[in-house]
Amino acid sequence: MYAFFAYNWQVRDQWFAWCEDVPNEELLKDRIGGIGNILHTLLHIVDVEYSWVRAIQKKDDKPIDFSDYTTLRQVKALSDQYRDELEEYLQAEATTNKQKTVTASWLDGTFTKEEILHHIIAHEIHHIGQLSVWAREIGKKPVSATVLDRGLF
Amino acid sequence: MYAFFAYNWQVRDQWFAWCEDVPNEELLKDRIGGIGNILHTLLHIVDVEYSWVRAIQKKDDKPIDFSDYTTLRQVKALSDQYRDELEEYLQAEATTNKQKTVTASWLDGTFTKEEILHHIIAHEIHHIGQLSVWAREIGKKPVSATVLDRGLF
């Protein structure tokens, strides 16, 4: 499971680098589908991963106000900060205690840790797929989604 | 790992059902990004999964001609046929012999079985993300990508 997190973080950082060549107006421009713009898609990915891992850890949620995040630098900084908090835990605990019960303040239901970890992983890959279409719409080659040749295995 | 295949197959079948309400011209219409149309994105997912699992099994590749597949029924039938061939193997072998060497006739390089299985899974989720944008472009709600509440865990 941890390899998928490492993959998502590598791809996400490549998208942050990709965004550096794109004007901020393009990053915030309304687009069809998903979260509706490039920057807030990345912010949403960062927020959802952090929120669910904290739910697994039985820590309080820390909701963010998307309107406070309007620049690439802010979103990248939050991603870096959260990853610093999550990395060690996920490296050590991504395959332990799979049946542990998880609940969340923002969603009814009871889940297992295993289910939530799968959800976080698929959630990011799905939204990155949306970015790849929007990238082509603005005439830029998207970041490669391949898992191969990334030094992950 | 197998749970991700089960997830992808469930989501894929929901997309096939979703496509039933969409005219064939829309399914084959040129779109920006990815494989360029909805039907061939689904065909590509099916083809890539099958090709890589056969590579893991050290079986010959069976290339397909995309121009032979122009209807939803054909693509769904191929997906069903291939899944019948792969399901038992993946259920039994998705987490065994992870370091087994894999090569492919269509790509240079040597990979591990673990790497290829991760690649197949992420590949499908990524392309499904693209479909979700195209769905909104034609004014239809996409299939949910959530892993939760699918009875997978």
Type and span of the H or E element at B8: helix B2-19
Q: Tens digits of per-residue pLDDT, B61-111?
A: 999 999 999 999 999 999 999 999 999 999 999 999 999 999 999 999 999
Instruction: Answer whether B122 sits within 8 Å of A136, measured CB to CB.
Output: no
Each of the 153 residues of chain A gets a pLDDT tens digit; together they read 999 999 999 999 999 999 999 999 999 999 999 999 999 999 999 999 999 999 999 999 999 999 999 999 999 999 999 999 999 999 999 999 999 999 999 999 999 999 999 999 999 999 999 999 999 999 999 999 999 999 999
Q: What is the pLDDT of residue B115?
A: 98
B2-137 placed in CATH 1.20.120.450: yes
ipTM of the complex as predicted:
0.98
Q: Do residues B1 and B91 touch, judged by C-beta distance below 8 A?
A: no
Q: What is the DSSP letter of A140?
A: -
Instruction: Answer whether B130 sits within 8 Å of A125, measured CB to CB.
Output: no
Q: What is the pLDDT of residue A23?
A: 98
Contacts A128 to B, Cβ<8 Å: 126, 129
Tokens of B99: 């370091």
Q: What is the pLDDT of residue B6?
A: 98
Tokens of B51: 């090709």
From the CA of B18, how many Å to the nearest CA of chain A?
Answer: 16
Q: Chain A residue with minimal CA distance to B6?
A: A118
Nearest to A119 by CA among B145, B91, B22, B21: B145
Q: Chain B residue with minimal CA distance to A36?
A: B133
Q: Do residues B51 and B82 touch, judged by C-beta distance below 8 A?
A: no
Tokens of A92: 């050590």
Tokens of A42: 């990345």
Contacts B115 to A, Cβ<8 Å: 147-148, 152-153
- What gap in Å lies between CA A146 and CA B128, rounded to an integer? 14
- What gap in Å lies between CA B93 and CA A71, rounded to an integer? 45
